[in-house]
Structure 1
Amino acid sequence: MIKRELYMSRIRPFIGTDLIKVMTGIRRCGKSVMLKLIQQELTESGINPKQFISINFEDMNYSHLQTAQALHDEISARASEIGGKVYLFFDEIQEVKDWEKCINSFRVSLDCDIYITGSNANLLSSELATYLGGRYVEFVIYPFSFKEFMELYHSITPDASIQQCFQKYLIVGGMPYLSNIRYADAPSKQYLQDLFNSVQLKDIMKRNKIRDIDLLERIIAYVIANVGTTFSASSLAKFLKNEKRTVSPETILNYIKYCCEAYLFYQVKREDLQGKQILSSNEKYYIADHGIREAIFGGNMRDINLILENIVYLELLRRGFDVTVGRNGNKEIDFVCNKQGEKIYVQVTYLLASQETIDREFGAYDRIKDNFPKYVVSLDEFDMSQNGIKHRNIRDFLLAKEWN
């Protein structure tokens, strides 16, 4: 079990406090493991595991606890038997109707430390979330980074070079469970297809009561095929019209929003760097895990430029950056990244194989006069840094402890 210190270092300051710790992210990205890691850390600090109450609401054994009242009665009874402080761990809490009422009641009436996970970005944005206003901290959990993947892959294939690890990562992605099937090609593909179907069915269709399944599937297929490419709802509506499906841009935007809420896609807005304003159209979307794209759509190696962008974007999110796509006159910068006053710019390309490509990628920064770090990231092995702009091999960029 990987320690996932990136997340533990953020969660650790809140362990033992009365704030509710909420972990969200796409289904099977490792949220349940985070609960186990927290339990492990508590045990090592001297807490008796008998004080833990842990429930996974996807387990049918707990289906009778999927209302706030039933869960409240059960936990209150168990906490009374344990006596003293209890540590509550609830996995996939969104399965419990009116869960916020119940969790807030525990916070008020019990001596407890609460940890919950969920697979929907709207977990805390419903009206009921006012019960928890200001009393929680949220952490988004992502699939494995390349560094985490390499650590596990080396435990299975010790002699694999960094290049071989990255080649595998390009295809299978970072979903944690794949290490249990030793990253074997056919089982990995089947697992990722099943995962995608589960997200589509449980977290998108059922949750949002979508009846037009064919339309949803077409929209998802289009976004997956065009990760990292700017497009508008109007252009997608025209595309679907050519496919004999008439649909409004508003409906398309709603369906994509549902996918983002389930953490299948991430929306990246465009920013005018000269006017310092967010542009209202033509966003980009990236997929939560590029291995899912390969399993259900294929073509990761054919579309490697887009996949490298996708990988870098998720790494920026893992490290806590707010990311936009930058427009600078008629030029575009892949990622403008901000974090608490820290700022970096990142251009991603496959290879700097021609002078034209070099001029385009480095030239994107021509009109940016600030002194924040500017990167061009590619698979090239040789350092081509120039004019104060840093060039990095993508593997080195992903494995670096920090960027400055």
Structure 2
Amino acid sequence: MEKQYRAVIRQKIVDSIATSPPPLTHRDVWLPQVRGKATAVIGMRRAGKTSLLWQILRERLASGTPREGLLYFSFEDERLAGLQASDLDLLVETYYALYPDWRDQRRAVFFLDEIQLVAGWELFARRLLDSENIELFLSGSSARLLSREVATSMRGRAMEAVVLPFSFRESLRHQGVEPTGNVTQLPKAVRSMLAKHLLTYLHEGGFPEAQGLDVRNRVELLKGYVDLVLLRDVIERHAVAQPLALRWMVRQLLGNAGSLFSINKFHADMKSQGINVGKDTLYSYLDHLEDAFLVRAVNLASDSEARRRVHPRKIYPIDTGLIPIFDRSGKANLGHALETLVLHELDRRGAELGYVRMVDGFEVDFLARYPDGHSELIQVCTHLDAPETAHREIRALQHAASDYPDAQQLLLVLERPALLDLPHDISLITAQEWLLMA
């Protein structure tokens, strides 16, 4: 069997080195840069993890690394079925047999895709970092290469690069209409074009394969993504005993983006439907869905762990394109989609997030704390033309600012209102400008 594996591995290495990086839409993914650490590229299925590996390879090639020093190797190959961790040394030995000048003398870069298919890969990866002059990128299905598992199994030897579906800017780039220059000084025609694209993005989302599809094909594609995540990354992986309760939870979460989600209330709803499932089980299901990157949970912003625990979390889907598929209200729900889009953009910018709820009932969508120390209170709203809406959103920010006086107050809207008297300490900006500023 080893002889068979050796021949396949050799051929895959030769083929990989001879392959030119494919032309792909550039992704704006933050990559950690700490020598001696592997980079674990993680994210939901079909978000573009493999494409990012090829992008990094192409960038290293452009910066002067010879092609033979850049090895992309996918373990998703039926000829490698049954490969064990003890067989992984064949990859290293075969590579250096083909390119002996790279051993110890030069720093090769290995991109190991779908490595989670080999049980025990973690020991191999750690040893590779310790014993060879190799920069290591790891990626694969989120079913077996989750962020918390990488942190545990690699014992501090890996850092994460999270791949989300296309951002708004990336979707524009994919379509060849990404604007250049100062986004606040664009011509009126360009601003109108961007506004139209933003409305389309809010409805269709950013999954790369879904771009440009008609409604029926897009819906079926995205439904398939959700079903695959549920089956492979949750039900099979965690031996879910109550798949019906899990699917009810998914429909509830994806169809009510940005809503507060209470396990206690959902447990009561399940009980009323005759579904007997424990609260602890439901908490586990929610954790599994977040681990699989299908949803993103936001806690109450509070320095008190007790307060965070007793308050429900706000739940958002990984992509705005999932909202109209699971929302049965029949409404456009642009506000929910815009809030979801802002959340993921804040994640891309590295912000630590929470939502603010005051004792008087006022609520602000996000308190964002950035790595450089500054913070923002962000309220998201589609339109402010109605005086009562503007008054409510402004008062919420002002009340929250009393608890967070150092935070910049920001009001994000789809369209700038014709007339609005804003307090001097609140900044209003259109969503399309804010999304394109980074």
TM over 0.5: yes
In 2, Cα distance between the equivalents of 1:305 and 1:187? 25
Q: Which residue of 1 aligns with 2:197?
A: 165
- What does the per-residue CA deviation read over 1:199-235, in whole Å, with 9 as the maximum and x for residues that have no partner? 1111111111213222211111111122211121000
| 1:119 Cα deviation from its structure 2 partner | 4.0
- What does the per-residue CA deviation read over 1:86-106, in whole Å, with 9 as the maximum and x for residues that have no partner? 321112333221221110121
Correspondent of 2:410 among 375, 382, 387: 375
State the identity as a percent.
24
Q: Which residue of 2 aligns with 1:226?
A: 256
Instruction: Please give the TM-score of this superposition, normalised by the length of structure 1.
Output: 0.88
Q: Which residue of 1 aligns with 2:146?
A: 123
Q: Which residue of 1 aligns with 2:239?
A: 209
My pick for the range that moved more, 356-365 or 209-218, is: 209-218
Change (3 A) 1:20 1:214: same
In 2, Cα distance between the equivalents of 1:64 and 1:166? 46
**Aligned pair 1:391/2:391, yes or no?**
no
1:271 maps to amino acid: A
**Aligned pair 1:82/2:99, yes or no?**
yes
Question: Aligned with 1:116: secondary structure?
Answer: strand
- What does the per-residue CA deviation read over 1:278-317, in whole Å, with 9 as the maximum and x for residues that have no partner? 3533111111112133345566853222111111111110
Q: Verify the 8 A CA contact 1:153 1:165 in the aligned structure 2.
A: no
| 1:27 Cα deviation from its structure 2 partner | 0.9
Q: Which residue of 2 aligns with 1:71?
A: 88
In 1, Cα distance between the equivalents of 2:26 and 2:276? 49
**Aligned pair 1:99/2:135, yes or no?**
no
Paired positions, count: 391
1:334 maps to amino acid: D
Instruction: Please give the TM-score of this superposition, normalised by the length of structure 2.
Output: 0.82
In 2, Cα distance between the equivalents of 1:145 and 1:112? 31
In 1, Cα distance between the equivalents of 2:228 and 2:429? 37
**Aligned pair 1:137/2:159, yes or no?**
yes
In 1, Cα distance between the equivalents of 2:139 and 2:422? 45
Q: CA RMSD in A?
A: 2.7
Q: Which residue of 1 aligns with 2:26?
A: 3
1:316-395 aligned at under 5 Å gives the runs 316-330=346-360, 331-340=362-371, 341-367=373-399, 368-369=401-402, 370-382=405-417, 384=420, 386-387=422-423, 388-395=425-432
Question: Aligned with 2:95: secondary structure?
Answer: helix
| 1:186 Cα deviation from its structure 2 partner | 2.6
Change (3 A) 1:349 1:295: same
1:49 maps to amino acid: R
Q: Verify the 8 A CA contact 1:26 1:142 in the aligned structure 2.
A: yes
In 2, Cα distance between the equivalents of 1:393 and 1:379? 5
Question: Aligned with 2:146: secondary structure?
Answer: helix
Q: Verify the 8 A CA contact 2:26 2:170 in the aligned structure 1.
A: no
Q: Which residue of 1 aligns with 2:209?
A: 177
Correspondent of 2:75 among 57, 66, 83: 57
- What does the per-residue CA deviation read over 1:8-53, in whole Å, with 9 as the maximum and x for residues that have no partner? 5x44x45xx3321111111111111111111111111222222333
2:50 maps to amino acid: S
Change (3 A) 1:221 1:205: same
Structure 2 residue runs without a partner (length 5+): 1-23, 179-188
